[in-house]
Amino acid sequence: MQLSIEKVGKCYRGRVWALRQFSLELRPGILGLLGPNGAGKTTLMSILATITRATEGSVLWNGVDLARDPNALRRVLGYLPQDFGVYPNLNAQEFLDYLAAVKGLDARVAQRRIDQLLDLVNLQDVRKRPLGGFSGGMKQRVGIAQALLNDPELLIVDEPTAGLDPEERVRFRNLLAELSGERIVILSTHIVSDVEATATDIALIAGGHLVAHAAPEELLRRVEGKVWEWVVPSADLHGVKEAYRVSSTARRSDGVHVRVLTDEPPVGAQPMAPTLEDAYLDALSLHRAAMVPA
């Protein structure tokens, strides 16, 4: 099971490149795709889900080019888009029935699967209620269920935790972790904690370019010895922000606790254990610095 993304680029009208020379090799596990808004994550997801076609480069599923046979991937694809709709007059059962038919699932197999999925996402009690009356979180759970209908080998989830409350978010992360054993899961998000909890690999994307691709441990190693924290008076905060790359601030009774990313330790600062958020911010700022013309 292998997904190869080879020098993929996507150009929209007006010569706007959303993605450029993007290459990645994926095997079973969870890839956390992290990047700021407008980085090109959703464009990449759409290309991988065969919704849109790359302007350049190619995507290969088990060696088969999507341009030649997109159905080779579609048969084993589960896709949860960032924005999707439902037919408001149908109930959850009927909607999943319909999508199972569209995906070509055998009726009996589909019935059993839908039953299990409704249990899994806990919509069994409301399976007969029209989707038009569902809350955002419930609708998102229908989306999760439809993505798992065909027991996908490649599961692409774009901002899956949007609309879910914190508790649901944690549960969904656990679900992804359990599902990832024999399949490739691509989790696109800008919420670092979602990725931190589940990803076996992380790809950082910015400005349509792949900034970094590594295991979380490797990314954390790259910022070891670069994270510092100290307490400053509120009045000095502005100056600190000017001088350093600030990762976070927290106001406490003794002043403002400032966490910064820097090679040289500030006076009085304590070294801190890096988090993935530190690694993410560091990689992005290095990328931005590299992109600024000399």
Partner 1 sequence: MKSARVLWHLVKADFLTRVRRTSFLLTLAFTLYVGYETLVGHIVLRLGEYRGVYNSAWVGALMGVVTSAFLSLVGFYIVKGSILRDEQTRVGQILAATPMSKSFYMTAKWLGNFAVLASMVGVMAVAAVCMQMLHGEDRTLHWGALMSPLAFLALPAMAFVAALAVLWETMPVLRGGVGNVVYFFVWSGLLSLGIGAVMGHSGAIRTRAYFQDFTGMPTLMEQMRAALVRVDPGFQNEFSLTIASGVPVKRFLWNGMVWNGVQVAARLTWVAYGLLVALLAAVFFHRFDPARSWRGLRRRAEAAPERGEVIELKAARHLAEQSREGWRGMLTPLPRGEEKTRFFALVASELRLMVHGQKWWWYLVAAGLFVGCAAAPLNTGRTGVLVAAWLWPLLLWAPMGNREARWATESLVYASPHALVRQLPAAWLAGVMVALATGGGLAIRLAAAGDVHALVGWAVGGCFIPSLALAAGVWSGGSKFFEALYTVWWYVGALHHLPGLDYTGVVASSARPGVFAGLTLLLLGAAWMGRRAKLAYA
Is 232 among the residues that bind partner 1 (CB under 8 A)?
A: no
* Among 64, 90, 162, 256, contact with partner 1 (rule: CB under 8 A): 90
Least CB distance to partner 1 at residue 47 (A): 8
The residues, any chain, with a CB within 8 Å of residue 38's CB and separated by 6 or more, are none
Place of tokens 């150009």: 11
Nearer to partner 1, 26 or 279 (CB): 26
Q: Considering the complex, what minimum distance in angstroms separates the CB of residue 288 from partner 1? A: 31
- The H-or-E segment that residue 155 falls in is strand 154-158
- Between 76 and 258, CB nearer to partner 1: 76
159: contact with partner 1 by CB under 8 A = no
Stretch that binds partner 1, among 73-81, 187-195, 197-205, 259-267 (CB under 8 A): 73-81
Question: Based on CB atoms, which residue is closest to partner 1, 21 or 82?
Answer: 82
**Minimum CB distance to partner 1 smaller for 33 or for 211:** 33
Report, in Å, the least distance between residue 42 CB and partner 1: 10
Is residue 12 part of the contact set for partner 1 (CB under 8 A)?
A: no
- Do 232 and 255 contact (CB within 8 A), yes or no? yes
Amino acid identity at 6 = E
Q: What single DSSP character describes residue 266? A: P
Nearest distance from C-beta of residue 29 to partner 1, angstroms: 16
**CB-wise, 29 or 130, nearer to partner 1?**
130
Q: Which of 20, 41, 113, 213 binds partner 1 (CB under 8 A)?
A: 113
Q: How far apart are CA 180 and CA 175, in angstroms?
A: 9
Residue whose pair of structure tokens reads 């999925």 in the numeric block: 117
Binding to partner 1, residues 178-197 (CB under 8 A): 178-179, 181
Specify whether the CB–CB gap between 282 and 218 falls below 8 A.
no
CB of 118 to partner 1, least distance (A): 10
146: which residues sit within 8 A by CB, 6+ positions away? Answer: 80, 95, 96, 99
Instruction: Tell me how many residues contact partner 1 (CB under 8 A).
Output: 68
Decide if 65 contacts 59 (C-beta within 8 A).
yes
56 neighbors 7 (Cβ within 8 angstroms): yes
Residue 10 touches partner 1, criterion: CB under 8 A: no
Residue spans of alpha helices (H) in the chain: 41-48, 70-74, 92-102, 107-120, 136-147, 166-179, 192-198, 216-222, 237-243, 276-291
Distant-in-sequence, close-in-space partners of 74: CB < 8 Å, separation ≥ 6:
50
Which of 174-182, 220-228, 250-258, 273-281 is the region at the interface with partner 1 (rule: CB under 8 A)? 174-182
Closest CB 113 distance from partner 1, rounded Å: 7
Give the shortest CB-280-to-partner 1 separation in angstroms.
Answer: 26
User: What is the amino acid identity at position 289?
Assistant: A
Spatial distance between the Cα atoms of 54 and 34, rounded to a whole number of angstroms? 20
Residues of the shown chain interacting with partner 1 in the complex, contacts defined by CB under 8 A: 46, 49-53, 66-67, 70-71, 74-77, 79, 81, 83-90, 94, 97-99, 101-107, 109, 112-113, 116-117, 119-120, 122, 125-126, 129-130, 132-135, 137-138, 141, 146, 148, 150-151, 165, 167-168, 170-171, 174-175, 178-179, 181
